[in-house]
Structure 1
Amino acid sequence: MEGVVVRRVIPSDNSCLFNAVGYVMDNDNQKATELRQVIAATVSSDPEKYSEAFLGKKNEEYCAWILDPEKWGGAIELSILADHYGREIAAYDIQTSRCDLYGQESNYQERVMLIYDGLHYDALAMSPFDDAPEEFDQRIFAVRKDRTIGPVEGLALNLVKDQQRKRSYTDTANFTLRCGVCQIGVIGQKEAVEHAQATGHVNFQEYK
């Protein structure tokens, strides 16, 4: 298979996870509103599975929360979206080069890939060459009998490790950030998320 794995940048607007999934699944990076509704409907339809213990908040409270375009998604949302589309979602973490696979227990026959820098999700795709237009992207990959997607997996990991070497990630526990809007300093992901939720500011720069 000829080509390169490329990172398709998704806008930083608190909905990057949903829009990244929309891009790799449907070639549409404006699906956040629709996918938030899918998740809320799934969660509200099964309060036993999606209990307060599982969600960290009451079922109906979570459903209202995830519909808010200012709120960020994570592992719970990715596992629901994998089942919604009937495809595995591989999420590569730049800081650790770990790959978290969602939907793997369902033996789906296809997989898509995302990349995560500690705060933000982008899409990964196979392109015939660097700088090729997005319409040539291959975004969905067949899962083989050995449960891999073949050479693409190695190419994706190489890209992740290259980003890791360049420190293109945010150490979310200990990093210091400055809000690009109001210049306030925060430490760690928790403070950054709290500041973003309180102010709507999402333009953070790391500083030492």
Structure 2
Amino acid sequence: MIDDCLKVIAATVASDPTKYSEAFLGRPNAEYCSWILDSEKWGGAIELSILAYYYGREIAAYDPVVIYMEKKFSQRVMLIYDGLHYDALAMSPFDGAPEEFDQTIFAVQKDKTIGPVEGLALNLVKDQQRKRSYTGNANFTLRCGVCQIGVVGQKEAVEHAQATGHVNFQEYR
């Protein structure tokens, strides 16, 4: 599934080099397309927007500060952003239900909400924030999977990657 999404993103970006210019992507279009196809990489708002239009669903990404959402469709999926990556939010019909019973797509109502589920999602996000379950981009600790050097924050990780070409990092505490 993830590889399919990466292919959709790369194909969309490659198909419109004017819209997805170097100024917009932060790198040349072809370089970005190669980069995003690497499953070790992750994206953000650009990629979520492309996937929202491709699948014809709103994508709401909740984090402690910002809610990103494409508001144009009759269904919504929800993600929670922990400072490093996105996880799907799902609603289980009952405790102990098999994962395949989880609901991940919700109907958008006339008031542009998804009803009581939206409140549950927002409460979960607030609870995670209160528990400090989020990873701040400036202070998380990573270890390079290639040379095992520890770095702190996104800035140091980017600097290490640029200096060494290493892009395989794991979070550690």
Match of 2:134 in 1: 169
Aligned to 2:100: 135
SS at match of 1:113: strand
Q: Which has the higher contact order (CA 8 A, sep 6+)?
A: 1
Q: Which residue of 2 aligns with 1:67?
A: 37
The 3-state SS of whatever aligns with 2:43 is: coil
Q: Normalising by the residue count of structure 2, what TM-score does the alignment of the two structures yield?
A: 0.88
SS in 2 for 1:171: coil
User: Are 1:83 and 2:91 matched, yes or no?
Assistant: no
Amino acid at match of 2:166: T
Partners of 1:124 and 1:139 within 8 A in 2: yes
Structure 1 match to 2:15: 45
Gaps of 5+ in 2: none
Q: How many residues align?
A: 170
2:160 paired with 1:192: no
Structure 1 counterpart of 2:172: 205
1:147 paired residue among 94, 112, 129: 112
Question: Per the alignment, do residues 184 and 115 of structure 1 end up closer, same or farther by CA in structure 2, a change over 3 Å counting?
Answer: same
Out of 24, 29, 32, which is 2:2 matched to? 32
Superposed CA RMSD in Å reads 2.0
1:79 deviates by: 0.4
CA offset digits 1:128-184 (Å, max 9, x no partner): 2344221211110011111111111000011111111111111112x1515285653
TM-score normalised over the length of structure 1: 0.74
Question: Hey, what's the Cα distance between the residues in 1 that align with 2:55 and 2:157?
Answer: 31
| Distance change >3 Å, CA 194–CA 116, structure 1 → 2 | farther
Q: Is residue 2:65 matched to residue 1:100?
A: no
Among candidates 27, 33, 36, match of residue 57 of structure 1: 27
Sequence identity (%): 70
CA distance in 2, matches of 1:84, 1:115: 20
1:200 is displaced (CA, Å) by: 4.5
Aligned to 1:109: 74
Q: Which residues of structure 1 form unaligned runs of 5+? A: 1-30
Corresponding residue SS for 1:91: strand
